[in-house]
Homo-oligomer: A and B are copies of this chain.
């Protein structure tokens, strides 16, 4: 008799195949679950392997649209970034996967959910068990690093990358061509945003719409031009430092374009508050796995509010590893005014006003300077 039903997150790899075998050997009935969040995968092979190892069923759930619309769009809208460089690819996908697995577990009357992560230091035991149970191992030789792949990025870490001074080999990167091998001709294109969301891309006169299609096209542009590679040492939630390499073509482009459009249409002070608090906190809590939390809801509410007028077009150029803004425009906002910005115009502006503005700023600073003089520590000597 079964000890119960388990919904197992199953990828077809060694780790999850091993726990699948182990769970069955322990007397559980196992329903395998695999989320399609845009990773490269031989879906049929995974299903075949799961069933051959004894799974009752293999569920493959296409979550790409939900991933883009529920999480990636929020990331774009707040210019999410962790420690100035990491665009959070893995962290963005995890909550979508986790929720779908729990739903699958409920729908399949499972008593448990399970993952197959080996855990730090457990690899030797894993390999021993897998060999003993004759669990089939991929015939392609294992790369000396580990990967995590989804619509947003591919991450590379561990193995030879644990030496932070070891440059990643050319063949490591899977989602971007080497900038040195990218085309000699730049790719020019434009992204149309509505309320902070990229809704259309125009490339070579062709329009692409639809949340997933737009994001995939940005991935392709980034891929072909080698855009979005980073190599960093980051601070993990648990307090360890860890080295990771990531190639994130489409989100690198979308983030830059959104950031640029905000320059044109978002009030400066709202932006400052959003940057210092919302962007910082949202990025950090996603990184720390706290998506399903009241604070994420609280921040999402601010993100949506601040994005209301982020509507317009950004023209861009991708070329050999980098992406450049060529120009931007918006009919939705009056905040930028060529007339007001012009040095030759006096629209709504009196030169005398700046005298007053500066004089008022100076009230406090003069006192500071006087105190420094009195203390024998004059600012002109500093």
**Residue ranges of A at the interface with B (Cβ–Cβ < 8 Å):** 79, 83-85, 99, 102-103, 106, 118-124, 146, 158, 162-167, 179-180, 186, 229-236, 238-243, 259-260, 263-264, 267-277, 280-281, 284, 290, 292-295, 297-299, 301-302, 305-306, 315, 319-322, 324-329, 333-338, 340-346, 348-357, 359-371, 374, 379-380, 382
For the complex, what is the distance from the CA of A294 to the CA of B359, rounded to whole Å? 17
Write the nearest CB–CB distance from A363 to chain B, whole angstroms.
Answer: 4
Report whether A349 and B326 are in contact in the complex, using a CB–CB cutoff of 8 Å. Answer: no
Report whether A319 and B319 are in contact in the complex, using a CB–CB cutoff of 8 Å. Answer: no
If A241-B263, A356-B357 touch, whether A363 touches B349 (CB-CB below 8 Å) is yes
Residues in B whose Cβ lies below 8 Å from that of A103 = 380
If A322-B322, A327-B164 touch, whether A336 touches B233 (CB-CB below 8 Å) is yes
Report whether B328 and A164 are in contact in the complex, using a CB–CB cutoff of 8 Å. Answer: yes
Report whether B263 and A273 are in contact in the complex, using a CB–CB cutoff of 8 Å. Answer: no
For the complex, what is the distance from the CA of A360 to the CA of B352, rounded to whole Å? 10
Residues in B whose Cβ lies below 8 Å from that of A356 = 350, 352-357, 359-360
If A164-B264, A295-B269 touch, whether A121 touches B186 (CB-CB below 8 Å) is no
For the complex, what is the distance from the CA of A281 to the CA of B271, rounded to whole Å? 13
A-B contact pairs, 8 of them (CB 8 A): A79-B84, A84-B275, A124-B344, A231-B324, A241-B264, A267-B294, A273-B298, A333-B371
Query: Can you name the residue of chain B whose Cβ is closest to the Cβ of A119?
Result: B351
Residues in B whose Cβ lies below 8 Å from that of A275 = 83-84, 280
If A164-B264, A301-B302, A336-B164 touch, whether A120 touches B321 (CB-CB below 8 Å) is no
Residues in B whose Cβ lies below 8 Å from that of A355 = 353, 356
Residues in B whose Cβ lies below 8 Å from that of A319 = 179-180, 320-321
| Contact among B233, B335, B345, B361 for A264, CB-based, below 8 A | B233
Residues in B whose Cβ lies below 8 Å from that of A162 = 338, 341-342
